[in-house]
Amino acid sequence: MNPDQHTVAEVYARLDAMIHQRHDTGFRLAVSDAVLQTKNPFETKKKRPLKVPIAIAVALLVVLVLIFVYFSFLSGR
């Protein structure tokens, strides 16, 4: 094999290593950017709060689940 040619496994391993070394890409980052407030580059250690529409949706979902549980299991006694 030529020194310029690489196998598929070698290329895949190299690409996988390059992707895992980068912390500014990925599915987890995309989801966290969609759900959390934008980052402040000067406060990197500070936790980011939820975006307001996401927080409202989560609170509404929790209330609806509680209502469902109450009327399904607790009110029929």
For 32-50, the pLDDT digits (tens) are: 888 989 888 888 888 889 8
Counting the structural domains of the chain, the total is 1
Q: Does residue 68 lie in a domain region?
A: yes
Q: What is the pTM of this model?
A: 0.57
Q: Does residue 22 lie in a domain region?
A: yes
Q: Does residue 16 lie in a domain region?
A: yes
First to last CA, the chain: 77
pLDDT at 1: 52
Q: Does residue 1 lie in a domain region?
A: no
Cα angle 70, 72, 76; round to 5? 85
Q: Which two tokens stand for residue 26?
A: 């990925």
Contact (CB, 8 A) for 37 and 50:
yes
